[in-house]
Amino acid sequence: MEGDAPPYRLSSTLEAHQGDVRCVAGLRRDVWVTGSRDGTLLVWRDRQPCLPARSVHAPAYVQCVARASADAFVSGGADRRVARHHLDAAQPPQVWQAHDDVVCAITALQQPDGYMTGSWDQTARLWRSDGGLQTVLRGHQAAVWAVLQLSAEVVVTASADRTVRLWNRSSGACLQVLRAHTDAVRALVRLHPDLLPPDTSTAEAFASTGNDGDVLLWSSDGQLQRRLSRVHDSFVYAAACRGEWLVTVSEDRTLKISNWRCGQVVQTVPHPDTVWCVAFVPDADGDCLTGCADGRARLWTRVPGRVAPPAELAAWEDSLARQTMARQQVEQEQPSSIDWGALPPMEEALAVPGTRDGQTRLVRAPGGAQVYMWSAAQHKWLKTGDVVDGHGQPLGASAAGNGNAGLSGYDYVFEVDVDDERGGSGPATAPDPQHPRPRRQLGFRRGEDPYEAATRFLEREQLPSAYLSQVVEFLTRNVPAADLGTSVVGAASDPLTGDARYIPDGSSSSSPSTFTPILFPSTDSYARLWQHLPEAYRTPPLSPTAYRPWTTERVEHVARMVSELDAGRAAAAAMDLARLAVVELAGAQRFLVTDDGAVLQRCLALAHAPDAPVAVRVFVCRLLCNAFAHQHTPAISDALLRAYPRVMQALADTVMTATPPDAAGAAGKLRDTFYALCFNYAGLTQRLQRSDARAGDIADDILQRAVHAMKADDGDHAAATTRLQSVVSSLLTDAHRAQLAVSAGLLECPQLPSSVQDALTRWLS
């Protein structure tokens, strides 16, 4: 670090939780609190839990914790409750129902004392110290991820809707809406006013950060003072400030220490996994705590006498070295293309010191490609992981001896670690090197549907269907896109945010479902598709060998084809190109938004034609599915909701009640694709049901249609059946929907999966 500030080193590792450590707080120099996805809170003293684990939020996850005083703290959880705890074990926690959804942010207020919370229900709330509600702050259009008291009369909120809002604490009036972030805003910290630039006419200031990786510095009058761009390479989950030092933690598995006055990152501290939270410890010379997805919290110090003993430092370095990084992830994080065949030998590359803290270097080792990070604090390279290929093997290593001989006939075989003790609904236990869970083999063939591969794996291993989306997500992250077949699922995401890691507690049934849209983003038959285009349209905007990149000219050319061609093989080819184009945001906007979605209306008209080939209808379904890749773009989600009635008019009757005039294989493909579209719509409506009045009506309609389809389902197509069941399961979120499903004939269906049966029991009992 700069000047006379020593670098941060590991001081202690706190190991007791059985799930991700989601929140941390320091009460005083020697007393700390951690909260976890395992549903417990632990109080630590002298690096050991000093009180019994507190489970007031269990089995739901503990989402947030904050210091109230040297002897008390407050917590919030996925159970929608807030609890006030005292260190005196004889005083039971004071618990109250706080929100209509997950409580994901909390802070203590001063003058007068009280608390402030933020929630997935899109509100922030102010509470008296006795738990009485004072004010509800409404205005955000998505989850409120962070809350902050800026002054006696001004409080601040940050949201997944990409805005920061300033509020009057007494009246609850919104004073300002600040729009400068390009993605969800997750963290707020107060800055010391004495350190502001001399020309800043304000007594307070604060910083905000989030999914865009930037840190923005604001004055209390809403003026943006400075933007620290790309502090992290991925989502920033939390931040804390002490003097001129700003610490941030991220999905990129690092803690970064920045001097916010000069706008420079001065130290990068790697972690074995995603870092969820960070907090400074009071009166501890700048010591700070981090909470990690590996189930551990860690204390970091700049005081030489508090640095961990060599054995603990070595264990930490070993935990870093044992991580794996997918080849695609490494390539995305590098500023230039990588020649994997020309990586420098490890001995040669690591003999040269790094030029800056946090610098990464790719090397060729005997076991394959490896990643190292330069630690200026230790003046050495730290190994931060092995690079693995699509087979899950070290990149450059031989496939022989990979332990996957148990499966044959597959192009990819992965060894996966599955915890099925909670049926997929609860937190997975943290890795335990002494008692490892059995690893199972997941096979995948080039070109097959990830849903079919995932379904086959779950059936063979006798695992709960709740794991389906997670297995599909794993395949789409680890199999090259060119080898994926019919459907692709994006990364699992937080409701309202797109965060690629956190999956909410299944017991919180009022929460929007974790929505992973099904996409169809690639093709391995572009040359054949080109041949089906009329000669007049085989012009320079389209290449006969590759359909990427999607320039504006190419998008316009495809839009013109769709608008001009009549139903038939040529129109099907044009529609196939169109569904590839909308994977890009510019393509989705051109087809769904421009001219009030005139091109989409043309597509639906072609699909609705009585003599339309099945292929046209299939590609229209895929086009719409791919538009859900941009579900967090308001214009796209609005266009999808507006189009819903016409979509059902054009496609539903043909798919659900009539037999397409094609072979059984084509009919099955159409059914499969249409159910994927219904699944996407179901997820979107769940995400938007509190912010858009149309969403609830659409969800009711999809549920009834899906129940009717389940009654008629012959079970011949496993992937389609699974998707149909997922639609129904995801929409059974309250008693109204359960009764609606029963009225539509759900109990008459020949087979009901356990997820549907459980939901019915919950809401009808």
pLDDT at 132: 93
CA atoms within a 13 Å half-sphere pointing along the CA-CB vector of 122: 17
Confidence band, pLDDT 50/70/90 cuts, at residue 420: very low
Mean pLDDT of 64-90: 93
Sign for the CA dihedral angle at 148, 149, 153, 154 comes to: negative
pLDDT on residue 526: 64
Choose the final residue of a domain: 632, 657, 690.
Answer: 690
Residues 152-159, mean pLDDT to the nearest whole number: 95
Q: Is residue 233 in a domain?
A: no
Cα dihedral 653, 657, 658, 659 sign? positive
**SS3 track for 49-74:** ECCCCECCCCCCCEEEEEEEECCEEE
* Contacts of 410 by beta carbon, 8 Å cutoff, 6+ apart: 443, 444, 445
Domain assignment present for residue 292? The answer is yes
Rounded CA gap, 32 and 35, in Å? 10
Residue type (1 letter), 606: L
Nearest to 423 by CA among 465, 385, 452: 465
**Looking at the structure, do residues 520 and 653 belong to the same domain, yes or no?**
yes
pLDDT exceeds cutoff 50 at 447: yes
| Domain span holding position 9 | 1-17+244-319
Q: In angstroms, rounded to a whole number, what is the distance separating the alpha carbons of residues 156 and 151?
A: 10
Residues 366 and 458 grouped into a single domain: yes
Gap between the Cα atoms of 359 and 228, Å rounded: 18
Residues in contact with 597: Cβ distance below 8 Å, sequence separation at least 6, in sequence order: 591, 639, 642, 643
174 by Cβ neighbours in 10 Å (0-12 / 13-18 / 19+) ranks as middle
Say if residue 596 is in the same domain as residue 494.
yes
Is residue 19 scored above 70 in pLDDT? yes
In terms of C-beta distances under 8 Å and separation of at least 24 residues, what long-range contacts does 324-332 make, across chains too? 324/385, 324/386, 324/387, 324/388, 325/371, 325/384, 325/385, 325/386, 325/387, 325/388, 326/387, 326/388, 326/477, 326/478, 327/387, 327/388, 327/389, 327/390, 327/395, 328/477, 328/480, 330/362, 330/371, 330/387
How would residue 474 be classed by pLDDT, with cut points 50, 70 and 90? confident
Question: Are residues 631 and 491 part of one domain?
Answer: yes
How much is the pLDDT for 409? 57
Could you tell me whether strands 380-388 and 324-326 are parallel, antiparallel, or unpaired per DSSP bridges? parallel
Phi, psi angles (nearest 5°) of residue 482 = -65, -20
Q: What is the pLDDT of residue 694?
A: 86
**pLDDT-based confidence at residue 46 (cuts at 50, 70, 90):** confident
Q: Is the pLDDT score of 432 beyond 50? A: no
- Closest CA relative to residue 270, chosen from 346, 355, 358: 358
Convert the pLDDT of each residue in 306-365 to its tens digit: 999 999 999 999 999 988 877 767 776 676 678 887 899 999 999 999 998 889 999 998
Q: Looking at the 3D structure of the chain, how many domains does it have?
A: 4
**pLDDT for residue 429 is more than 70:** no
Domain co-membership, 492 together with 365: no
Answer yes or no: is pLDDT of 557 > 90. Answer: no
- Please check whether residue 80 is in contact with residue 98, taking contact to mean a CB–CB distance below 8 angstroms: yes
Distance CA 529, CA 92 (A): 68
Task: Name the band, by pLDDT with cuts 50, 70 and 90, for residue 688.
Answer: confident
Residue that finishes a domain, picked among 667, 690, 713:
690
Average pLDDT over residues 668-677: 83
Judged on CB neighbours under 10 Å (0-12, 13-18, 19+), 415 is: middle
**254: β partners:** 270
% of the chain surpassing 70 pLDDT: 78
pTM confidence score: 0.58
Mean pLDDT taken over the chain: 80
Rounded CA gap, 558 and 533, in Å? 11
pLDDT band at residue 649, thresholds of 50, 70 and 90?
confident
Query: Is residue 55 domain-resident?
Result: no
Q: HSE-up of 382 (CA within 13 Å, CB side)?
A: 27
β-bridge mates for residue 270, sequence order = 254
- Please, what is the Cα angle at 94 between 88 and 95, to 5 degrees? 140
In this prediction, residue 44 has a pLDDT band, given cuts at 50, 70 and 90, of: very high
Structure tokens at 585: 């945001």
Query: Is the Cβ–Cβ distance between 472 and 478 less than 8 Å?
Result: no
Among residues 666, 674, 583, 668, which one has the least CA distance to residue 630?
Answer: 583
Q: Is the pLDDT of residue 712 over 50?
A: yes
Band (pLDDT 50/70/90 cuts) for residue 298 is: very high
Whether 679 and 569 map to the same domain: the answer is: yes
Does the pLDDT of residue 513 top 70, yes or no? no
Average confidence (pLDDT) over 395-423: 51
| Res 450: pLDDT | 74
Judging by beta carbons within 10 Å of its beta carbon (0-12, 13-18, 19+), is residue 734 exposed, middle or buried? Answer: middle
Mean pLDDT on 650-665: 59
Q: Could you tell me if 466 and 511 lie in one domain?
A: no
Q: 464 and 482 in one domain?
A: no
Instruction: Say if 151 falls within a structural domain.
Output: no
Point out the domain boundary residue: 670, 690, 710: 690
Q: Which pLDDT score is estimated for 398? A: 36
- Residue where the block lists tokens 């011949």: 716
The CATH number of whichever domain residue 421 belongs to comes to 3.10.20.870
478 versus 69: the higher-pLDDT residue is 69
Q: What is the pLDDT averaged over residues 410-418?
A: 69
CA–CA separation, 704 vs 634, rounded Å? 26
* Residue 67 banded pLDDT, cuts 50, 70, 90: very high
> CB within 8 A of 645, min separation 6: which ones?
none
Task: Sort strands 224-228 and 236-242 into parallel, antiparallel or unpaired.
Answer: unpaired
502 and 610 together in one domain: yes
Residue 88 lies in a domain: no
The pLDDT tens digits for 225-249 are: 899 988 998 889 999 999 999 999 9
The answer, yes or no, to whether residue 198 has pLDDT greater than 60, is no
Whether residue 208 is contained in a domain is answered as: no
Range among 189-203, 548-562, 645-659, 661-675 rated most confident: 548-562
Phi-psi region of 247 (alpha: psi -120 to 50; beta: other; left: phi over 0): beta
* Residue 451 within a domain: yes
Which one-letter amino acid corresponds to residue 601? Answer: Q
Give the model's pLDDT for residue 531: 67
Identify whether 613 is preceded by a cis peptide bond (ω within 30 of 0). Answer: no
Residues 636 and 515 in one domain: yes
Q: What are the structure tokens assigned to 469, written together?
A: 């989306």
214 vs 442, residue with greater confidence: 214
542 and 682 housed in the same domain: yes
Model pLDDT for residues 567-603, shown as the tens digit of each residue: 566 777 788 888 888 888 888 888 898 887 888 888 8
Going 589 to 594 to 599 to 605, the CA torsion angle's sign is positive
Say what the pLDDT of residue 233 is. 82
540 falls in which pLDDT band (50, 70, 90)? low
> How far is Cα 305 from Cα 321, in angstroms, rounded to an integer?
26
Q: Is residue 157 part of a domain?
A: no
Claim to verify: residue 716 and residue 661 sit in the same structural domain: no
Q: Are 746 and 728 in contact (CB under 8 A)?
A: yes
Angle at 103 between CA 100 and CA 105, to 5 degrees: 140
CA atoms within 13 A on the CB side of 306: 23
Residue of 391 and 494 predicted with greater confidence = 391
Based on its alpha-carbon atoms, the radius of gyration of the chain, rounded to whole angstroms, reads 27
Mean pLDDT lowest among 61-65, 316-320, 383-387, 735-739:
735-739
Only one residue has tokens 């858009």, namely 692
96-105, 249-258, 329-338, 692-701: least confident range: 329-338
Under the banding of pLDDT at 50, 70 and 90, the label for residue 497 is very low
